[in-house]
Amino acid sequence: MTGRCRNVVAELARTALAAVVALLLWGALSPALAEDRIITAVTQAADADAFTVAFDVIGKPEARVLHLRNPERIAVDFEDTLSAAALDAPPDNALVSASRHGLVAADRYRFIFTLKGAASAELDRAATANGETLSLTIRPATSGKVAAASSSRPAPRQNAADAGPDVPAAVPQGRVLKVVLDAGHGGVDKGAVSKSGTLEKEINLAMALALRDALQARGDVEVTLTRDDDTFIPLEERAAIGRRERADLFISIHADSIRYADLRGATVYTLSETASDELSREIAASENAADRFAGEEWQRDEPTVFDILLDLTRRETVSFSEHFASSLVRDLRREDIRLINRPKRSAGFKVLTAPDVPSVLVELGFLSNREDEKLLTDAAWRKDTAAAIARAVMDFFGEKVAEPRKPG
């Protein structure tokens, strides 16, 4: 067998294996398809004016176009849909340099087209005997038009110096921003307890409620609370709520205690395998210990294959989370909110592990510090801080921050 033949056979084997793994994973992690939605063929074509992709689908899938940045890419997400189609290298063209695809969540299949330059995209549908053909058309961007036309995302506000290698865009136009607020601890899990008896779980819930009100007062924002009363929720379930809600942003709210009584100020954390410093490692260990109250059914690891198939989405999600965290720190500093030294940190927080939901954990301050405790228990301070965080969220997602709605 020639080397070329061996390469072809190897590629076919990899494609077949990926399809088998995807089907097995789909069966294991998603309910049986009530309506078969399967992509049977993907055809790429190009001419002088456009690059087109035709997706032949059995059934009628939900699909949306995303514009991903740094590098510039167009992505098409299919909900509750699998692909049994091969994806060839794109034909010679002036718009697309590469294409790839894969299962990025238990209920989401994604195609990504890497762009050679700024472009816009549209997705059209046409009925067929067995379902639909979805046609993606990518064209060179006209002046100011660089996002995917059918569900584009305005770029997150960032400085050029802050731009990372893989920054997703913000929320599709015409769709409500979805935010999940997680009030840490609850129920049997008191969280930190100050010397005077202040309970972290109560501070977290009060702040989550204040932030919900501040966000809802500023426009079309759909806010979901992981808890709105004194209830214990395992960490894995908190992250799962963000995924079920298809949240654009997940914010976990805490107010920890530490052995250094002089340490005070807010901190914004993102997820990382290795803690950025010893303090972050201690904080993460403290927060992750909440699962000691959970039953054995919540104390399990995800399958390795799931980690592999979600790697693409996880990288993009972590990048998005990092940029939001940096933006939030800048805005809180601008609002004169007291921050810890080096306020942007990272560690292995279990509650931030949703692979497809940008997530941050905000430590509002330390109950081990008397001055911080005074602020945390002050309703006026919580309201002002919630308003500052809400402004930062809306600003980051490209929305014009309106004045709070007037009652009645």
Give residue 264's pLDDT band: very low, low, confident or very high (50, 70, 90). very high
Domain boundary among 117, 152, 187: 152
Could you tell me which residue, 263 or 176, shows the higher pLDDT? Answer: 263
The answer, yes or no, to whether residue 8 has pLDDT greater than 50, is: no
Q: Quick one: average pLDDT of 78-103?
A: 89
Quick one: what percent of the chain has pLDDT higher than 70?
A: 73
- Residues 361 and 403: their CA atoms lie apart, in Å, by 26
Q: Do 248 and 331 have their domain in common? A: yes
Q: Do 219 and 351 have their domain in common? A: yes
- Interval 197-209: pLDDT, tens: 999 999 999 999 9
- Residues 295 and 293: their CA atoms lie apart, in Å, by 7
Give residue 386's pLDDT band: very low, low, confident or very high (50, 70, 90). very high
In a domain, 21, yes or no: no
- Which tokens sit at 22? 């995807």
What was the pLDDT predicted at 320? 84
Q: Quick one: average pLDDT of 323-329?
A: 92
The answer, yes or no, to whether residue 291 has pLDDT greater than 80, is: no
Q: Do 316 and 351 have their domain in common? A: yes
Q: Do 125 and 200 have their domain in common? A: no
In a domain, 200, yes or no: yes
Q: Do 141 and 207 have their domain in common? A: no
The answer, yes or no, to whether residue 344 has pLDDT greater than 50, is: yes
The answer, yes or no, to whether residue 127 has pLDDT greater than 90, is: yes
The answer, yes or no, to whether residue 133 has pLDDT greater than 70, is: yes
- Residues 98 and 4: their CA atoms lie apart, in Å, by 21
Enter the pTM of the model.
0.61
What was the pLDDT predicted at 385? 96
Q: Poorest-confidence range of 81-85, 91-95, 200-204, 293-297?
A: 293-297
Peptide bond preceding 404 in cis form (omega within 30 of 0): no
The answer, yes or no, to whether residue 106 has pLDDT greater than 90, is: no
Q: Which CATH number is 328's domain given?
A: 3.40.630.40
Q: Poorest-confidence range of 58-72, 80-94, 132-146?
A: 132-146
Exposure of 397 by Cβ count < 10 A (0-12 exposed, 13-18 middle, 19+ buried)?
Answer: buried
In a domain, 72, yes or no: yes
Please report the DSSP string for 290-354 in residue order: GGGGS-GGG--PPPHHHHHHTHHHHHHHHHHHHHHHHHHHHHHHHTT--EEEEEEEEE--GGG--
Q: Do 66 and 117 have their domain in common? A: yes
Looking only at the bridges linking them, the beta strands covering 38-46 and 82-83 are: parallel
Considering Cα of 81, then 7, then 75, then 156, what sign does the dihedral take?
Answer: positive
Q: Do 139 and 213 have their domain in common? A: no
Exposure of 372 by Cβ count < 10 A (0-12 exposed, 13-18 middle, 19+ buried)?
Answer: buried
Q: Do 374 and 276 have their domain in common? A: yes
In a domain, 169, yes or no: no
What was the pLDDT predicted at 387? 95
Average pLDDT over the chain reads 79
In a domain, 18, yes or no: no
**Residue whose pair of structure tokens reads 């054995």 in the numeric block:** 296
Longest distance between any two alpha carbons in the chain, whole Å: 78
- Residues 257 and 366: their CA atoms lie apart, in Å, by 5
Please report the DSSP string for 148-196 in residue order: BTTT--PPPP--GGG--SSEE--PPTTS-EEEEEEE--BTTB---B-TT
- Residues 40 and 112: their CA atoms lie apart, in Å, by 17
Q: Do 354 and 210 have their domain in common? A: yes
Listed residue (192, 187, 180) closest to 364, CA to CA: 192
In a domain, 7, yes or no: no
- Interval 332-342: pLDDT, tens: 999 999 999 99
In a domain, 55, yes or no: yes
| Beta carbons of 377 and 316 less than 8 angstroms apart | no
Task: Compute the C-alpha angle 204/210/216, nearest 5°.
Answer: 130
Listed residue (139, 118, 46, 30) closest to 78, CA to CA: 30
Give residue 28's pLDDT band: very low, low, confident or very high (50, 70, 90). very low
Q: Do 229 and 94 have their domain in common? A: no
Q: Do 224 and 126 have their domain in common? A: no
Strongest mean pLDDT among 200-214, 268-282, 350-364: 200-214
- Interval 292-309: pLDDT, tens: 665 444 444 444 333 434
Please report the DSSP string for 196-244 in residue order: T--BHHHHHHHHHHHHHHHHHTTSSEEEEES-SSS----HHHHHHHHHH
Domain residues for 218?
177-396
In a domain, 193, yes or no: yes
The answer, yes or no, to whether residue 96 has pLDDT greater than 90, is: yes
The answer, yes or no, to whether residue 170 has pLDDT greater than 70, is: no
The answer, yes or no, to whether residue 191 has pLDDT greater than 70, is: yes
| Beta carbons of 1 and 22 less than 8 angstroms apart | no
Q: Do 208 and 81 have their domain in common? A: no
Q: How many domains are there within the chain? A: 2
Q: Which CATH number is 69's domain given?
A: 2.60.40.3500
The answer, yes or no, to whether residue 388 has pLDDT greater than 90, is: yes
